[in-house]
Each structure stands twice: as structure tokens, then as C-alpha cells.
């Protein structure tokens, strides 16, 4: 049954958007917050990910998987899904309270001519272009960005560099955006994050740091760089591996056979165990 979850307004003049939660026509747990739609979509090995859609005005029980096109990361269970939906509702409320304004702009940017911009604050613009976009800071605002993150041009692309702007001007961003910015800095610029916060990142806090640890620990191991299900040996995966997962000309390569049930690449690659995984390099099949 589809339900509308009652929300107590965090601010009388700017209430949280109504949250609707229900099941889609194909059984997915779904939700709607304003114009944004969410679905908890099953993935491999019992996992789920958060899919998003836009302006689905039909009743929730008529939605289907094909209505969703965005991928917003893993979601553990229904409780986590509901928490993410509630966080988005708060994000929408905070964003409205910030009073950002759209303006006409034809400014030149590194991504092409601006097709319009959003004013976040004095000297802080976010441009949209035909293919990309990002922030432009006036010189005095750019000087407030941490030196390890600062762009000499004052432009910050929207995929990752925007996090430097959010770090410098937290009052111009929602709590959700600040959380994403912190995560982005940890994963892309761990040295800068550590300098800003005065502490070292711990395992699990930064993909960049975790990758460095993985690469040091497995520099001499065979790491899979490609894999395909075996047609000749059902239940197995035929893999290509190199020392430390290196790529490029001149790198030694070997073929190994791995049971399908065991093969899970993980974040940084699958480590071959030569004592258990059969070496097919010399035609031993």
C-alpha cells in the first residue's frame, strides 16, 4: 500500500516536502519527494542501489524500473532507503531557504559558453553549459579556498572540484551537499583533507587512501585486469592478471581460472592465489 508520511515542519515558513513511500508496479520500494523520485533496486549478491527519476507525476504503484535513470550509490536496506529519502527532503527544504537565484549568463567558462548560472552568494556562481558546468569564484572569494584545493582560474568543475567551493563556503550549501563535499574531498584529495582537519584518514574513510594501501600490499601479487565467464568450463571465470594490476606495453600477463562463486572484483581488483587458481597461461586447461 502506498503511504504519505506525515512530516513535522522544521520551520513554519519552509516545511519539509511531503514524502510519499510505496511499492511500484513491479514491486520495488519507491518514494517521491517533490519532483524527485527514488527506488531501491536489487543488485548482485543481495545488494541494492538507489535509483532516481524526475517529475514522475503518476501514482507510485504505476511506476516501473524503466522510469528511473540515475544511480546514487548503494543502499543497505529499507531503513537506509527511508533515511536517504528523509535526508533528501531536508536537503530540498534547506536549498529553498538558501535563496539561490537563477540568472542569465553568456560568460566564457572552461566548459564552453554559459547557458545560465545560479547565484549561490556574492561572487559565487554555478554555470550550466551544453556539456558540463561548474563554479566560478570572483578573485576575493577564490582567495578563501584552501591553498591545496585552490584553482588559479577561479573555476571548479561540477564532478569533484565543486567540493573545494563547498568546503570554503559551507553556509552556502545544504547539510546534504556538505556531506557529499566532505566525502568527495576524502576520496579525491586526501592530503588536502588531512591538512584541513589536522588528522590522518583511517582505513575505510577514503577510497584514494585505501587504494594506496591495497597497491602497496599487493604490489607483487597477480591482480585481475579482465575477466569473462568460461564457455569451456561452466562455473568458472577465465581471467587475465598482471603483477600489481599494472597495465601497458611490456607488462607480463597470465591467465588464471577462478570459480565463479568466488570471483568478486571488489573496489580495487581481485587478487589471484596461485596455489588455488589454475594458471592457464601455458595452455593448462
d(CA 269, CA 242): 11
pLDDT bin (cut points 50, 70, 90) of residue 73 is: confident
Span 112-170, pLDDT tens digits: 999 999 999 999 999 999 988 999 999 999 999 999 999 999 999 999 999 999 999 99
Span 198-214, pLDDT tens digits: 999 999 999 999 999 99
Instruction: State the pLDDT at residue 266.
Output: 85
Instruction: State the pLDDT at residue 8.
Output: 28
Give mean pLDDT, residues 33-61.
93
Instruction: State the pLDDT at residue 131.
Output: 84
Give mean pLDDT, residues 255-275.
93
Whether pTM exceeds 0.85: no
Instruction: State the pLDDT at residue 138.
Output: 97
d(CA 75, CA 87): 13
Instruction: State the pLDDT at residue 10.
Output: 33
Instruction: State the pLDDT at residue 285.
Output: 52
Percent of the chain beyond pLDDT 70?
Answer: 93
> Where in the chain are the domains?
3-98, 101-197, 218-279
Give mean pLDDT, residues 83-103.
93
Instruction: State the pLDDT at residue 267.
Output: 87
Amino acid at each position: 500500500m502506498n503511504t504519505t508520511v506525515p512530516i513535522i515542519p522544521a520551520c513554519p515558513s519552509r516545511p519539509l516536502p511531503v514524502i510519499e513511500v510505496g511499492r511500484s508496479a513491479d514491486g520495488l520500494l519507491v518514494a517521491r519527494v517533490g519532483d524527485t523520485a527514488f527506488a531501491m533496486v536489487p543488485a548482485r549478491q543481495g545488494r541494492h542501489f538507489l535509483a532516481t527519476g524526475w517529475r514522475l507525476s503518476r501514482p507510485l504503484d504505476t511506476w516501473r524500473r524503466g522510469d528511473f535513470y540515475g544511480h546514487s550509490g548503494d543502499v543497505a536496506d529499507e531503513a537506509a532507503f527511508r533515511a536517504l529519502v528523509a535526508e533528501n527532503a531536508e536537503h530540498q527544504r534547506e536549498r529553498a531557504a538558501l535563496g539561490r537565484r537563477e540568472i542569465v549568463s553568456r560568460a566564457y567558462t572552461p566548459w564552453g559558453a554559459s547557458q545560465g548560472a545560479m547565484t549561490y552568494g556574492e561572487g559565487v556562481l554555478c554555470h550550466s553549459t551544453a556539456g558540463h558546468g561548474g563554479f566560478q569564484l570572483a578573485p576575493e572569494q577564490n582567495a578563501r579556498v584552501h591553498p591545496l584545493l585552490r584553482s588559479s582560474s577561479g573555476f571548479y568543475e561540477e564532478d569533484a572540484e565543486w567540493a573545494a567551493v563547498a568546503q570554503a563556503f559551507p553556509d552556502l550549501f545544504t547539510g546534504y551537499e556538505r556531506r557529499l563535499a566532505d566525502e568527495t574531498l576524502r576520496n579525491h584529495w586526501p592530503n588536502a583533507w588531512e591538512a584541513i582537519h589536522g588528522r590522518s584518514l583511517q582505513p575505510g574513510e577514503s577510497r584514494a587512501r585505501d587504494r594506496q594501501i591495497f597497491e602497496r600490499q599487493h604490489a607483487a601479487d597477480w591482480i585481475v585486469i579482465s575477466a569473462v565467464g568460461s564457455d569451456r568450463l561452466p562455473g568458472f571465470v577465465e581471467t587475465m592478471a598482471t603483477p600489481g594490476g599494472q597495465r601497458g606495453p611490456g607488462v607480463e600477463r597470465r591467465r588464471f581460472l577462478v570459480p565463479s562463486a568466488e570471483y568478486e572484483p571488489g573496489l580495487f581488483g581481485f587478487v589471484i592465489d596461485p596455489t588455488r587458481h589454475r594458471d592457464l597461461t601455458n595452455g593448462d586447461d
